[in-house]
Structure 1
């Protein structure tokens, strides 16, 4: 797939995208929405399930199962200390409503929740960075969308630790074109100071940065990935190792990303 992207870029005269290098892949039935990983374990995420896998043996050692009536659409998660923090919504129901769910990864138990209710869209990902929560509220052209909004109204919101809004930004037009007709399914800040996001279907990630002025993020680079969109998370042990999922085959995938100049 990555080689094909490079050939197409050459044929159209465009500069080829830098490519991620796949280094690990294994099956996990819960890998339908997202994945996170620490030094010892990989956690595969679906709407209402989280599977915990031993990184060495690739065997599942624990499974959390939530009530599908309460956990309708868990989109993505991130690790913060001993807690897993997950973005959830009521997709494809409308009006759109969102919540944040916390889990104890040692006990594999749900420990806290915060309802965000209706608002800017459906919460698809949440990340803690630079003393703030960064949340993406997705909007869609069709299924799961609300009248008067489409993918172009997808927004990144910065909250303080108490979820008081500190700022908000639209995504770059060049990235929105790649999202259409869906939205951003994954996002995570990297140690290099860039925000890496994915769409719903395309096998690529977009490196973004905050603008010097205005309310639209800047598009720094597009990186070809071995998996199509969905949620992503950086490896806790390797700052350039990105985890993603192949949802059609229910696999978790780790890829080494090249360094991106800001």
Structure 2
């Protein structure tokens, strides 16, 4: 093989490695290690997982499946009609016996979002709140320190009905809602963290037992801890943790200290899984 062909092959291999390797954390951001404590094959685990004391809830676009947390046995499910009002469930949190889910019309245009609520025991749909056309697509919800929090995601990828990038990922915002679901405060993400999302955006979020907001992207097997800044509008990135996930929605288990649930969409094995990792928090 000629020197030129050797050089060309080397450049192609280098480009491939760049594409498949996760972006490294910033030099001043510590990486926390963890230990996987559970893994279950769950067909419905395509968008997110929510968790309470005895169960986890696998979330797909139009499906919520309830599973026993210890055995992994399926307990019940809710399935929305194919052409019904529920289009893209993206994340969930169980609070006071109710499952609150972030919902949007992703990838339709213009972007609309709503909060949908189910009874966590019966999986009966019990409430809804619509944002209409807002700041982007609502991708996650969590309750912390007396307020609901979430993210309105925007994307650099172009979809069929959007003539331009789907909102531009730099417009992604972390928000705190008031009691009437109005945005009371909002922050953007640091550019070095947005770079890790590629053309996609922030997919999951959950407040951890360390008082940090942990978020995830769309694809990478890691989560990132954020703090509210003392000044300004840019969230502070303070830690990262490698996980057996593939981005998407995450949820801290409030009944098991330091255990974070996530999902894996394994295309090679043609299976979806729910995983749980105990992270070595400071």
TM-score, length basis structure 2: 0.84
Runs (5+) with no aligned partner, structure 2: 1-20
Matched, 1:259 2:281: yes
Aligned to 1:184: 202
What is residue 108 of structure 1 aligned with on the other side?
123
Q: Which moved more, 1:64-73 or 1:194-203?
A: 64-73
- Contact kept in structure 2, 1:131 and 1:160, CA below 8 Å: no
Query: Which of 118, 127, 140 does residue 133 from structure 2 map onto?
Result: 118
Q: Give CA deviations for 1:159-188 in whole Å, capped at 9, x if unaligned.
A: 112112211100112211111210011001
Q: Tell me, yes or no, if structure 1 residue 150 matches structure 2 residue 150.
A: no
Which 10-residue stretch deviates more, 126-135 or 115-124? 126-135
- 1:91 is the counterpart of 2:109: no
Please name the residue that 2:257 is paired with: 239
Most deviating of 94-103 and 190-199: 190-199
Q: Which has the larger radius of gyration?
A: 2
The secondary structure found in structure 1 opposite 2:91 is: strand
Find the aligned partners of 1:27 and 1:90 in 2 and give their Cα distance. 27
Pairwise CA distance, 1:36:
1.5
Matched, 1:35 2:49: yes
Cα distance in 2, alignment partners of residues 163 and 37 from structure 1: 23
Counterpart residue number, 1:65: 79
Matched residues in 1 for 2:206 and 2:258: separation? Answer: 12
- Structure 1 vs Structure 2 CA RMSD: 2.2
For the Cα contact (< 8 Å) 1:174–1:219, is it kept in 2? no
Q: Is the 8 A contact 2:138 2:153 kept in 1?
A: yes
Between 1:212-221 and 1:248-257, the stretch displaced more is 248-257
The verdict on how the C-alpha distance between 1:33 and 1:146 changes in structure 2, with shifts beyond 3 A counting, is farther
Cα shift at 1:238: 1.3
5+ unaligned residues in a row in structure 1: which ranges? Answer: none
Specify the SS of the correspondent of 2:237.
Answer: strand
Aligned length: 253
Out of 44, 54, 79, the residue aligned to residue 58 of structure 2 is: 44
State whether residues 28 and 44 of structure 1, in contact with CA within 8 Å, keep that contact through their aligned partners in structure 2: yes
For residues 93 and 238 of structure 1, do their structure 2 counterparts lie closer, same or farther at Cα, with a shift above 3 Å needed?
A: same
The equivalent of 2:145 in structure 1 is 130
Shift of 1:100: 0.4
| Aligned partner of residue 248 in structure 2, secondary structure | coil
Q: Is the 8 A contact 2:30 2:239 kept in 1?
A: no
Residue 94 of structure 2: which of 59, 62, 79 is its match? 79
User: Any idea what SS the aligned residue of 1:250 has?
Assistant: strand
Alignment of 1:162 with 2:180, yes or no, is: yes
Structure 1, 95-104 or 170-179: larger mean CA deviation: 170-179
